[in-house]
Amino acid sequence: MAGFFKIAIRNFLNSPTTDPYPFGETFTPENYRGIIDYTPELCIGCNTCEYVCPSGAIRVREKEDGSGISFSFWLNTCSHCGNCGYYCPTDAVFNSNDFHTARHQSEKFIPTIDDGISYVQCSNCKQKMKRPVEALLARAYEEITEEVRHQTSLCPECRRMKRFERM
């Protein structure tokens, strides 16, 4: 028993090891995989997050009025695995370190994030298309020139025609 007395006496002299949360600060690491956050400006609507999500908490669909792509996220279905953030090519979906998941019962089955991106028009034929995202261009091209900018303002069909004309 003597072995444990030493530990007990030491504990008696030390301050409590628990945090006074919620009345004070608690330890929240920078890397903690908390609630998912979404930045529409970075989203390219590629559907990767929905493909890798094991719990089906994310839905990426074309908007009903055809004006863009919607992104819906259900917090209650999420298992905080971080797969969506890991595979997102532009970091539009990411885990914040917020762990406060309590919500009202009325919000249980509705998406906690209901956002999305709008289509832009092709500068040539005015057809709707997904817009170019800076983060992805930076990965694809070493230098983003005016030529590249012009190319990305065209829809895939017009781009092909333009390239064809140049040949």
| Residues within the interface to other proteins (CB under 8 A) | 1, 3-4, 6-8, 11, 17, 27, 29-33, 51-55, 79-83, 86-87, 95
The residue (of 12 and 109) whose beta carbon lies closer to other proteins is 12
Helices (H), the chain: 2-13, 48-52, 83-87, 134-140, 146-152, 156-166
Measured between alpha carbons, how far is 110 from 88 in angstroms, rounded to an integer? Answer: 23
Q: Is 105 helix (H, G, I), strand (E, B) or coil?
A: helix
Instruction: Provide, rounded to whole angstroms, the least separation between the CB of residue 22 and other proteins.
Output: 18
Least Å distance, CB 7 to other proteins, is 6
Q: Give me the least distance between CB of 52 and other proteins, in Å please.
A: 5
Judged by CB, which is closer to other proteins: 53, or 158? 53
Helix/strand/coil for 106:
helix
Residue 49: CB atoms within 10 A of its CB come to 25
Closest CA to 92 of 39, 138, 56: 39
Q: What tokens were used for 60?
A: 């990426």
Closer residue to other proteins (CB): 35 or 148: 35
CB of 8 to other proteins, least distance (A): 7
Residue 1 vs 167, nearer CB to other proteins = 1
